């Protein structure tokens, strides 16, 4: 499958047909306005234009929002390091998933404040984080 996001919803392409989705396996999307989709392992991660993300996996869904530590800001990118940690960039900064909550990485952790446009997990378990001030690479077991 190829997946696309749009302000009109999540679109799936099976090689022959495009299909607009409002739910996955009977679980509704939080909003029709999606801006990012990524498969990580067996899960499909969907980010919404006005904040929040949903994780669809094995017929179930988990929605994350402000109560879980995420800001009401647009998510820009997901990545997963080899230890299973999911990382998220947004206009509010860089976040990592810790259990059922999200933790914002702060300047005290060694990275600048502000927007991280892109992150990339490397095979050695580290993470590259792209910020207007530079490219940063984590040291294993830093955070």
69-122 tens-digit pLDDT: 998 888 889 999 998 999 999 888 999 999 999 999 988 888 888 888 899 999
Tokens describing residue 90: 């947004």
Percent of all residues in the chain with a pLDDT value above 70, rounded to a whole number = 97
Q: Say whether pLDDT at 10 is over 80.
A: yes
Q: Say whether pLDDT at 1 is over 90.
A: no
Length of the chain (residues)? 143
Q: Say whether pLDDT at 8 is over 90.
A: no
The residue among 67 and 71 whose pLDDT is bigger is 67
The Cβ of residue 6 has, within 10 Å, a number of other Cβ atoms equal to 13
43 bridge partner residues: 40
Q: Are 37 and 4 spatial neighbours (Cβ–Cβ below 8 Å)?
A: yes
Region 123-127: mean pLDDT is: 90
In the sheet where 53-57 sits, what is the strand order?
Answer: 34-40, 43-48, 53-57, 60-64
Taking the model in full, what pTM does it have? Answer: 0.89
Cα angle 102-56-21, degrees, rounded to a multiple of 5: 125
Q: Are 32 and 9 spatial neighbours (Cβ–Cβ below 8 Å)?
A: yes
> Residue 67: which residues within 8 A CB-CB, separation 6 or more?
none
Q: Say whether pLDDT at 142 is over 60.
A: no
pLDDT of residue 44: 95
The whole-angstrom distance between residue 24's C-alpha and the CA centroid of its chain comes to: 17
Tokens describing residue 128: 């590259």
Query: What is the average pLDDT score of the chain?
Result: 91
């Amino acid at each position: 499958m190829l997946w696309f996001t749009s302000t009109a919803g999540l679109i799936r392409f099976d090689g022959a047909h495009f299909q607009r989705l409002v739910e996955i396996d009977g679980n509704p999307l939080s909003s029709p306005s999606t801006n990012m989709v990524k498969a990580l392992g067996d899960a499909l991660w969907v980010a919404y234009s006005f904040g929040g993300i949903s994780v669809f996996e094995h017929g179930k869904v988990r929605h994350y929002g402000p109560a879980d530590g995420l800001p009401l800001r647009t998510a820009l990118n997901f990545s997963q390091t080899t230890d299973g940690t999911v990382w998220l960039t947004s206009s509010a900064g860089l976040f990592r998933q810790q259990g059922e909550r999200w933790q914002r990485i702060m300047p005290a952790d060694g990275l600048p404040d502000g927007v991280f446009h892109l992150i990339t997990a490397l095979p050695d378990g580290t993470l590259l984080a792209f910020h207007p001030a530079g490219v940063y690479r984590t040291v294993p077991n830093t955070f």
